[in-house]
């Protein structure tokens, strides 16, 4: 007895679609966490060559199972100034090809055992989703419940997501099986013999559910009715490819002009590709009357057409990337007022879109933190230089840079807090913690830079200056601090744990130099070799220099504490008491800098 298609079949189909989309989302999220942002960050390094960019776009899209997410990510990168519009074109092409992998994966649901017995029949039956999905779900659930490492839990979520996706596909296919014998359904399908209608329906439905994989999955499910031909399916597939661009277009609100053009190049490729290829297909169908267009299409045929369309558009547009960019600039025109196109890089660089992929957001934050560290280092070096030679323009530059560093701190801290509220791996959690510590120390160092500038400014305005002896002392301690700043900052930028261990011995030496200079200053005051007014300024300078060195120690200590998972206070106590390497470096630094002070004392007595 043939089962009828009724309201309950529609319920089953909608439930299957829900399972499919949810499974896709779970699997995609798990894959994104598993990659840890490494693939996405490679975009910044491998987009100079078009072929490499295409391969990278394919790889990332296959890995995260979402071309829409890939495009949204590219919008964010361009909006942040990390990538240029030109660099995204090849990645977009690769992403279009990579998204077809899902369709090939769904082809497992169309495997037929054909009555084959024995081992071959068992293997064929095992490859069917309804056979292996329960086992995949079980394995994933065991990993989620019992695995201790987050990476294994993420693998478990991927497996469960895949099983739910395949279960949804099976439900959709089963729900439309009764349509095979429905004359009403066949009458409806005849309307899709109009290719324009097919394109519009495919684009509209995909735009609503915002998943081309979901639309292709539904199309495959309907193909099981046996009433869908190649000629009907191909325009719908083209429409699905256009509709998937809706997500990218929705992500362009409030972004820069070039970021909007990323989404538009994506949709222009799909629309122009359809406008060129569809008439060619219609012409071949009417002139040559090829039988294949009237043949019944299945899972495999849909996957092949989906892939051919995206590969064909890539080949078609690859030689014309410059013209494609020019066309996107015609669609999204520059403002007449150039200043409208410019904005503070810091405002854009921590794009909201990255929060959907925390691993990428963390890597972007690291790039911003590194930029903040470079700005901080230059600011403090400028301030140190002004202790011996005052320059009004440089003083203003230091103050402007300090304002920018404050801006960095505000933006980064609030963004990092928002990232930490997401489900992130333990390793990513440590990276977030490390960056929050770094940002705070960089900002404090810039504050001390302004304090040093104010001391130099006061001396300049009052037309007073230090004695040659004082200037030499300041030169020695600033040299030691410059050395420590370079070590601490480089240790963070390069994740150099060994270099981080070399900061504390020099910080101890800076403390000893500061104590020695304060003692000398008191002697000069007692001998009336220094005025009280200059003495206050000198003390302020030494205090600020010592605080800068302390922050260098904090930076290195944070790296050691988080990377070695140790308590920093216990580490510092132990290393000063028992570490021979620490003592050796301490002696070398002491001998070097105290010699420059003209006081080659025994470092063991310092």
Q: Which domains, from first to last, does the chain contain?
A: 7-331 (no CATH), 357-463 (1.20.58.220), 467-606 (1.20.58.220)
Residue 432 buriedness (CB in 10 A; 0-12 / 13-18 / 19+): buried
Query: Mind listing the pLDDT tens digit for each residue in 518-534?
Result: 888 888 877 877 777 88
Higher local confidence (pLDDT), 406 or 294: 406
CB within 8 Å of 352: residues ≥ 6 apart: none
Sorting pLDDT into bands at 50, 70 and 90, what band is 341? Answer: very low
Q: Which of 410, 405, 417 is nearest to 355 (CA)?
A: 417
Look at residue 39 and tell me whether its pLDDT is greater than 60: no
Which residue in the block uniquely carries the two structure tokens 């490492």?
149
**2, burial (CB in 10 Å: exposed 0-12, middle 13-18, buried 19+):** exposed
Least confident stretch, 20-24, 28-32, 378-382, 431-435: 28-32
Q: What is the mean pLDDT of the chain?
A: 80
Contacts by 469-476 with C-beta closer than 8 Å and gap 24+?
470/530, 470/534, 470/538, 471/388, 472/596, 472/597, 472/598, 473/517, 473/520, 473/597, 474/387, 474/388, 474/541, 475/388, 476/513, 476/593, 476/596, 476/597
Higher pLDDT, 345 or 505: 505
Residue 531 has phi, psi (to 5 degrees) of -80, 155
Residue 1 has pLDDT above 60, yes or no: no
Tell me what percent of the residues of the chain surpass a pLDDT of 70. 82
Q: How many CB atoms lie within 10 A of CB 581?
A: 11
Distance CA 222, CA 492 (A): 55
Give the pLDDT band (50/70/90) at residue 491.
Answer: very high
What pLDDT does residue 602 have? Answer: 46
Query: Quick check: 347 pLDDT over 60?
Result: no
Determine the average pLDDT of the residues in 410-438.
87
Long-range contacts of 536-544 (CB under 8 A, 24+ apart): 537/455, 537/458, 537/459, 538/466, 538/470, 540/451, 540/455, 541/387, 541/452, 541/455, 541/474, 542/477, 542/514, 542/517, 542/518, 544/448, 544/451, 544/452, 544/455
- pLDDT-based confidence at 606, cuts 50/70/90? very low
Cβ-in-10-Å burial (0-12, 13-18, 19+) of 117 comes to: exposed
State the pLDDT confidence band at 135, using cuts at 50, 70 and 90: confident
Three-state DSSP class for 566? coil
Residue labelled with tokens 């990476």:
151
**Amino acid 346: pLDDT:** 44
pLDDT at position 343 is 41
Taking only the tens place, the pLDDT of each residue in 182-223 is 566 555 656 667 888 888 888 888 888 777 777 888 888 888
Q: What pLDDT, on the 0 to 100 scale, is given for residue 254?
A: 66
Structure confidence at residue 348 (pLDDT): 43
**Whole-angstrom Cα distance, residue 175 to residue 220?**
12
Q: Lowest-confidence range among 2-11, 14-23, 61-70, 345-354?
A: 345-354
More confident residue, 291 or 38: 291
Specify the higher pLDDT residue, 601 or 245.
245
């Amino acid at each position: 007895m043939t089962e009828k298609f009724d309201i309950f079949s529609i319920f089953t189909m909608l439930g299957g679609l829900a399972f499919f989309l949810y499974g896709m989302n779970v699997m995609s999220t798990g894959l994104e966490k598993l990659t840890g942002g490494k693939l996405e960050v490679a975009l910044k390094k491998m987009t100079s060559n078009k072929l490499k960019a295409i391969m990278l776009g394919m790889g990332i899209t296959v890995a995260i199972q979402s071309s829409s997410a890939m495009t949204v990510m590219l919008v964010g990168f361009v909006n942040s100034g990390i990538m240029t519009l030109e660099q995204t074109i090849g990645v977009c092409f690769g992403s279009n090809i990579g998204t077809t992998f899902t369709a090939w994966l769904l082809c497992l649901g169309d495997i037929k055992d054909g009555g084959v017995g024995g081992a071959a029949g068992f293997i064929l039956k095992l490859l069917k989703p309804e056979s292996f999905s329960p086992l995949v779900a079980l394995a994933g659930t065991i990993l989620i419940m019992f695995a201790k490492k987050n990476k294994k839990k993420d693998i478990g979520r991927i497996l469960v997501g895949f099983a739910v996706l395949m279960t949804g596909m099976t439900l959709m296919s089963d729900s439309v099986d009764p349509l095979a014998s429905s004359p009403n359904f066949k009458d409806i399908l005849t309307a899709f013999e109009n290719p324009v209608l097919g394109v519009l329906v495919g684009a509209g439905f995909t735009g609503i559910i915002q998943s081309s994989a979901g639309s292709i999955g539904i199309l495959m499910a309907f193909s099981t009715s046996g009433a869908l031909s190649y000629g009907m399916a191909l325009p719908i597939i083209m429409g699905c490819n256009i509709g998937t661009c809706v997500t990218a277009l929705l992500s362009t609100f409030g972004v820069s002009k070039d970021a909007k053009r990323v989404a538009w190049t994506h949709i222009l490729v799909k629309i122009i590709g359809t406008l060129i290829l569809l008439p060619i297909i219609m012409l071949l169908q009417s002139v040559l009357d090829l039988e294949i267009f009237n043949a019944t299409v299945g899972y495999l045929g849909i996957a092949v057409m989906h892939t051919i369309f995206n590969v064909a558009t890539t080949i078609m547009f690859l030689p014309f990337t410059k013209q494609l960019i020019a066309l996107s600039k015609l669609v999204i025109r520059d403002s007449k007022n150039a200043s409208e196109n410019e904005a503070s890089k810091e405002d854009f660089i921590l794009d909201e879109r990255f929060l959907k992929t925390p691993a990428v957001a963390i890597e972007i934050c690291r790039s911003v933190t590194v930029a903040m560290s470079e700005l901080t280092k230059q600011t403090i070096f400028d301030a140190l230089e002004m202790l011996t030679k005052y320059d009004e323009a440089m003083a203003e530059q230091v103050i402007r840079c300090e304002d920018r560093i404050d801006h960095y701190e505000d933006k980064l801290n609030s963004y990092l807090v928002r990232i930490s509220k997401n489900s992130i791996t333990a390793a990513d959690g440590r990276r977030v913690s490390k960056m929050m510590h770094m940002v705070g120390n960089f900002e404090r160092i810039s504050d001390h830079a302004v304090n040093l500038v104010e001391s130099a400014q006061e001396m300049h305005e009052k037309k007073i200056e230090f004695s040659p002896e004082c200037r030499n002392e300041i030169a020695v301690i600033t040299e030691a601090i410059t050395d420590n700043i370079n070590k601490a900052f480089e240790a963070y930028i390069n994740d150099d744990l060994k270099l981080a261990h070399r900061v504390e011995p020099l910080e101890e030496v800076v403390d000893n130099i500061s104590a020695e200079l304060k003692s000398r200053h008191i002697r000069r005051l007692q001998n009336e070799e220094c005025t009280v007014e200059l003495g206050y300024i000198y003390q302020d300078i030494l205090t600020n220099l010592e605080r800068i060195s302390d922050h260098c120690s904090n930076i290195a200590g944070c790296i050691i504490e988080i990377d070695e998972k140790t308590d920093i206070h216990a580490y510092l106590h132990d290393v000063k008491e028992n570490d021979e390497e620490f003592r050796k470096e301490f002696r070398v630094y002491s001998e070097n800098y105290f010699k420059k002070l003209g006081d080659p004392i025994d470092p063991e007595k310092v």
